[in-house]
Structure 1
Amino acid sequence: MAGAPGAAGQASPEQLAPEQPQQGFLARFLADDQKCQLMLLKTLQTNPYVKLLLDAMKRSGCAVNRERHFSCEDCNGNVSGGFDASVSQIVLCQNNIRNQAHMNRVVTHELIHTFDHCRAHVDWFTNVRHLACSEIRAANLSGDCSLVNEIFRLRFGLKQHHQTCVRDRAILSILAVRNVSKEVAEKAVDEVFESCFNDHEPFGRIPHNKTYAKYAHRDFQNRHRYYSNI
């Protein structure tokens, strides 16, 4: 994945139902790197999932800098992005990220890995259960498994579908970045699923859409204002 052997990443989330790029007139004439940088900037400034994660990272002593911690690159295969723990950098696959909504999901997904890297001693390189836990959290909290995304994938309507989607996405992500068998990936995910699925930090809840994410961000800010006044 983009030359990042230690990356925790996600496979392209719309393999079953490709979308047409929804970019502005000017963006059609820009190079991939320029389009990637413009979409990244908009995501960092406007997306409620990302704004909450950036606040949480800053409060945890791991402030994120756009120039230092993000890199737009061409990637092999259909991977959309990854977190390279060896250099604490998020790789954005400019040749595979198709539109602003896709950028929003990729940045959110990878920032959850970055948050986990900041707050915990995650062994990305040798402990597949650690990787599985972060992939479960990223799939659960980033919007990867939202109803809209699952409809685009032509997968919806099953009992406990959100949990099933999170499990499947976590397994796919492990297989995209680790040379392990599907059986090993499934075993790692199943062993940590319950505890990691129920770990909603820093959101405090599963943010099923942007409205939920905005409420979660408001509650996060109010929670810290309350503690600072005690």
Structure 2
Amino acid sequence: MTLLIKSRCRRRKRLRSRQRRRRASRRRKTSATVYTPSAAAASSSRARSERVSSPLNTSVTSCCRSPWTLRCVSHSGPYAKLLLGAMKSSGCTVYKDRHFSCEDCDGTVSGGFDAATSQIVLCQNNIHQQAHMNRVVTHELIHAFDHCRARVDWFSNFRHLACSEIRAANLSGDCSFVNEISRFNFGLKEHHQACVRGRALRSILAVRKVSREEAEQVVDEVFDSCFHDHAPFGRIPHNKKDAKFAYRDYENRDRYYANL
């Protein structure tokens, strides 16, 4: 019995020593591997291509100047996802080559919606952060959604323009608490309404040659009805969490539940 136990112990020792020798030989082979310059260049170019092809890792300018513009837009957050889905459901599918244009703009303009060509213009020379791009895209997509769902007279009816600007400022996150703090604008009572009114007024004055008094009068006339028009979100998305809930509700809008 003692001899049998000793023989088993010897076998186990021999087996362990073989396993150790195999591991050591593998380590030597791995450490002796030499990477040629071509292999290193290929690996670095592959890594570069993976970084560029990922829309979440691209900068704003490279996103605009690359074929990934729409992917950058669709992955920019729940705001854009919901708006793109709503436009598709309304029969206005958005195509990156057709409906997005990245250009160098004058002044401090960040973007715009060209109603004549149904195209969103992103001012790549004035957008330097991904968060800024997300807000601009969402703002202009709201204009595109209004253009899709209604007969908006952008050029001669200031009431239509003012209504869409109010909706864009209200629903795009332009007047979120974080953005207002970053602008050093503080307020408690009806601060969101004041921000929406002010940004809509500035947008109208930037695109139309009208007096400030006339623009204020038009904004006041349509403010209540347009401020409470939350389509397609169904609520005011004050932050990304609200936008995610709105996007979830929009995705489940045709789902029916039954008590089984």
TM-score range, shorter chain: 0.7 to 0.9
Aligned equivalents of 2:78, 2:134: Cα separation in 1? 10
2:76–2:134 Cα contact (<8 Å) kept: no
Corresponding residue of 2:87: 57
2:59–2:129 Cα contact (<8 Å) kept: no
Aligned equivalents of 2:65, 2:188: Cα separation in 1? 38
Q: Structure 1: where are the runs of 5+ without partners?
A: 1-24
- What's the TM-score, normalizing by structure 2? 0.73
Flag the structure with more relative contact order, 1 or 2, with Cα contacts below 8 A and sequence separation at least 6. 1
1:203–1:213 Cα contact (<8 Å) kept: yes
1:32–1:95 Cα contact (<8 Å) kept: no
**Letter paired with 1:138:** A
Count how many residue pairs are aligned between Structure 1 and Structure 2.
200
2:79–2:243 Cα contact (<8 Å) kept: yes
2:170–2:236 Cα contact (<8 Å) kept: yes
Aligned equivalents of 2:186, 2:82: Cα separation in 1? 28
By percentage of residues, which structure has more helix? 2
SS of residue paired to 1:154: coil
Corresponding residue of 1:36: 64
Specify whether residues 127 and 56 from structure 1 end up closer, same or farther in structure 2 by C-alpha distance, changes over 3 A only: same
**What is the RMSD computed on CA atoms of the aligned residues?**
2.1
Specify whether residues 82 and 226 from structure 1 end up closer, same or farther in structure 2 by C-alpha distance, changes over 3 A only: farther
Specify whether residues 199 and 96 from structure 1 end up closer, same or farther in structure 2 by C-alpha distance, changes over 3 A only: same
- What's the TM-score, normalizing by structure 1? 0.82
Aligned equivalents of 2:244, 2:65: Cα separation in 1? 24
Paired residues for 1:1-230 under 5 Å: 33-37=61-65, 40=69, 41-226=71-256
SS of residue paired to 1:223: coil
Q: CA deviation at 1:55?
A: 0.4
Segments of 4+ in structure 1 off by > 3 A?
30-33, 37-41
Q: Structure 2: where are the runs of 5+ without partners?
A: 1-50, 53-57
Specify whether residues 174 and 110 from structure 1 end up closer, same or farther in structure 2 by C-alpha distance, changes over 3 A only: same
Identity across matched positions, percent: 70
